[in-house]
Amino acid sequence: MRRLQALPPGLRVTLFAVAIVALVALSLGIGAMATLIFERGLGLGGGAGSSEQSSEQESNQEQAQTNTPPTTQMGAGEYLTRVGDIQNASVEAFFESHEMLSRYDTLTAGDVEDMETSYLALRDYSAEVENLNPPEGYEAQYELFSLGINELYMAAEIAYRVAAEPPSATQVDFQAYDGHVMTATTSLQQSNVLVGRDYRTTEGASRVSLI
């Protein structure tokens, strides 16, 4: 202490400043080191714990993808059975709605409810067709079959809509309806030819009109 007091005033100020800077640097270094150790211990800040957790999650995701069973392709016999069941039921639901639409001017509230039922049934059949996985060699037939059922669904949607909301019905709606029916008839007939079956089609369905 006496040696410090014996030094010139300017030198003593310089030494005190250097000592203060050293103490501050030392305290900051200790704090940073403590923070780093704390984060590594908890796996924060991109440390080893975080990397290990991320790797484990990726491994679990890859394992889950590996364990997901692939879509099972149907055999020809099972596929044709499903095609026949869906096509026959779809055509039946369509004709139930079509018969009521053909007497549009005399529809009752009960008729409208029945048309909604047919429309919803065809919506379900269309969705079921989308989930089919045709066997090899049936791709072209499936496209025709799928188109035909979807066209019946769209026709039934128009039928229910014009029945439920008569003021909004136009002749254009009925023309669109007939167009869907014609496309469905052609598609289902061609589908039958490709598989050598005689499933029901909408052949013979009468045209409808608002006038």
Say whether both 107 and 178 belong to one domain.
Answer: yes
Say whether both 111 and 157 belong to one domain.
Answer: yes
Mean pLDDT score of the chain, rounded to an integer? 80
Identify the pLDDT of residue 58. 57
Whether residue 2 is predicted with pLDDT greater than 60 in this model: the reply is no
- What is the pLDDT confidence band of residue 6, given thresholds at 50, 70 and 90? low
Query: For the segment 113-161, what is each residue's pLDDT rounded down to a tens digit?
Result: 999 999 999 999 999 999 999 999 999 999 999 999 999 999 999 999 9
Residue 205 is assigned to a structural domain of this protein: no
Say whether both 56 and 128 belong to one domain.
Answer: no
- What is the pLDDT confidence band of residue 73, given thresholds at 50, 70 and 90? confident
Identify the pLDDT of residue 163. 96
- The CA distances from residue 98 to 85, 125, 126, 172, 173, in Å, are 20, 17, 18, 17, 14
DSSP state of 204: T
Nearest to 125 by CA among 105, 148, 106: 148
Q: How far is CA 98 from the centre of its chain?
A: 31
SS3 category, 45: coil
Residues of the domain holding 141: 76-195
More confident residue, 207 or 22: 207
Instruction: Count the domains in the chain.
Output: 2
Identify the pLDDT of residue 56. 59
Tokens of 34: 């403590």
Say whether both 63 and 128 belong to one domain.
Answer: no
Alpha carbon distance 59, 145 (integer Å): 42
- What is the pLDDT confidence band of residue 52, given thresholds at 50, 70 and 90? low
Burial class (CB in 10 A: 0-12, 13-18, 19+), 17: exposed
Say whether both 63 and 80 belong to one domain.
Answer: no
Identify the pLDDT of residue 34. 43
Residue 202 is assigned to a structural domain of this protein: no
Say whether both 158 and 120 belong to one domain.
Answer: yes
- What is the pLDDT confidence band of residue 62, given thresholds at 50, 70 and 90? low
